[in-house]
Amino acid sequence: MKLAIVVNEGPYTHQASDTALHFTRAALEAGHEIERVFFYHDGVNNATRLTVPPQDDRNLQKEWTELGTTHGLDMVVCIAAAQRRGILDANEAKRQGKDADNIAEGFRISGLGQLIDAGIQADRLVTFGD
């Protein structure tokens, strides 16, 4: 089955990102295809490479990056939600006149159309949120 995943909460405050990560991993292991993982609302905060969680805790951004790069996942961060919350890639940082970017490897910034498109292309769209 072709699945689209939506992550609507940031890391650590809510469990949604953990559950989405575990679900995506399990779906891939079971032989399903992941059409796209779309990060919206505070979910965009999963994509910053600047988080430094305690060493005895999980690092959600690293786990997403590892899963995404291993399986070639299309992990999309909503641009409008990202701009509000200070998640930038190099292009956006330049365009907005900011002195740094923070997007982690494996993620890309794009529009909300990618969420609708994922819903159209996938057999099932699964939302993880609060």
Partner 1 sequence: MSEDAKKFLYVNRKAPYGTIYALESLEVVLIGAAFEQEVTLAFLDDGVYQLAKGQETAGVGMKNFSPTYRALGDYDVNKFYVERESLEERGLTEDDLQEITYEDEDDDWAEKPSIRVVNRDEMKKIMSEQDVILSF
- Report the Cα 79 to chain-centroid distance in Å: 12
Least gap, CB of 116 to partner 1 (angstroms): 5
Examine residue 91 and tell whether it contacts partner 1 (CB under 8 A). no
User: Does the protein bind partner 1 through residue 125 (CB under 8 A)?
Assistant: yes
Answer whether 44's CB lies under 8 Å from 11's CB.
Answer: no
Distance CA 85, CA 79 (A): 10
| Residue 56 C-beta: closest distance to partner 1, Å | 31
Residue type, 88: L
Asked if residue 111 binds partner 1 (CB under 8 A), the reply is: yes
Nearer to partner 1, 8 or 65 (CB): 8
Examine residue 116 and tell whether it contacts partner 1 (CB under 8 A).
yes
- 96 touches partner 1 (CB under 8 A): no
Answer whether 77's CB lies under 8 Å from 110's CB: yes
- Told to judge if 43 belongs to the known catalytic residues of this protein, a careful annotator would answer no
* Measured distance CA(105)–CA(48) in Å, rounded: 9
